[in-house]
Amino acid sequence: MKFSGSAMIILAAICWGATGGLADILLSKGWDPLVISFYRGAVGLVCFVIWFLLSKIKQRDFSLRLILWSIVAGIGVAGNFTFYFLSIESTSVPIAATLMYTAPLFVLLISFLFRLEKSTWFKWGCIVSVLAGIVLLTEAYDTGSSAVNLIGVATGLGAGLSYALFIFGFKNASENGKPQMVLTLAFVAFCIVLAFFVDVQEATSVFSSSDVGWFVAIGIVGAGLSFALYTIGIERTAPSTASIIAMVKPVTASLFGLVLLGDELAIVQIVGMVIILLTVTTLSFKKGS
């Protein structure tokens, strides 16, 4: 059972990693990040509705608490998808994926702010370590470097913060309903939120475009299949184990960008990436143990 859970999380992480590459392909074709994000969530919603209708849930009561926390999760995932694609557009898949992996750091800082966790030297050391890794990864120390892009860095970190919001909302909503119920409600909220910002004319043109297959693929791989695999796998896996397995996500995205898309990273940037991944994984492992 534990092995099957780990396998599902690994597959979900691989799907999420590949999503960055699929988004980069669509971005290179001139599609707006908001349109890509919208269809990723919309196709995912269709998958979750089917999963929900086929599930053998006897009680389908939608309590107010379930709905509200699912909306929070939906807003979080909307921000995560959009900021992630904007970061890819401004930087590269490896940098955007690694910056998004800082989500546990934001959870820790919020916990400090609301005094939900006790401040320790180890935790502050992790924060300093991740910040150092970000400086190296983005080459922020070199003001003349073309790799430095404040918008790309800000949106990458925004993706991490939004993912932390999704986790927070999903965790609370799951206490009041099954994952397929939570994900369905969350992605309904997702579509409603993004509908106010997306370019309707460009979004409509997707149906008559030759790229419609890419949009369906990014929705199935990046939302429907990946989220279903992850939510099922996390129920069968210890938190400490899941935190280590989650490291597959940015690694997969980075390899996809480096090997298939031709993205390039300097040695210093790779060192920064490794520092971030190892630090966040160690922090997550400690918290999940």
289 pLDDT band, cuts 50/70/90, is low
Distance, in Å, from the CA atom of 32 to the CA atom of 61, rounded to the nearest integer, reads: 38
- For the segment 195-210, the average pLDDT, to the nearest whole number, is 95
Distance, in Å, from the CA atom of 224 to the CA atom of 51, rounded to the nearest integer, reads: 9
Say yes or no to pLDDT of 29 above 70.
Answer: yes
Distance, in Å, from the CA atom of 162 to the CA atom of 193, rounded to the nearest integer, reads: 14
Question: What pLDDT does residue 263 have?
Answer: 67
Greatest alpha-carbon span in the chain: 61
Question: What pLDDT does residue 239 have?
Answer: 54
Residues belonging to the chain: 289
62 or 267, greater pLDDT: 267
- For the segment 113-132, the average pLDDT, to the nearest whole number, is 79
Mean pLDDT lowest for which of 200-204, 213-217, 264-268?
264-268
Listed in sequence order, the DSSP H helices in 175-266 are 179-195, 200-205, 212-219, 226-234, 239-245, 248-255
Q: What percent of the chain has pLDDT over 90?
A: 37
Question: What pLDDT does residue 76 have?
Answer: 95
What's the one-letter identity of residue 164? Answer: A
Range picked from 91-100, 161-170, 192-201 for highest mean pLDDT: 192-201
Question: What pLDDT does residue 264 have?
Answer: 73
Q: Which of 129, 89, 123 is nearest to 109 (CA)?
A: 123
Mean pLDDT lowest for which of 8-12, 36-40, 201-205, 232-236?
232-236
Phi-psi label, residue 119: left if phi above 0, alpha if psi -120 to 50, beta otherwise: beta
Question: What pLDDT does residue 205 have?
Answer: 97
148 pLDDT band, cuts 50/70/90, is low
Q: Are 279 and 130 in contact (CB under 8 A)?
A: yes
202 pLDDT band, cuts 50/70/90, is very high
- For the segment 160-181, the average pLDDT, to the nearest whole number, is 88
Q: Which of 22, 78, 14, 13 is nearest to 45 (CA)?
A: 78
Question: What pLDDT does residue 235 have?
Answer: 74
Question: What pLDDT does residue 248 have?
Answer: 64
131 or 75, greater pLDDT: 75
Summary mean pLDDT of the chain: 83
- For the segment 142-165, the average pLDDT, to the nearest whole number, is 78
22 pLDDT band, cuts 50/70/90, is very high
Question: What pLDDT does residue 58 have?
Answer: 63
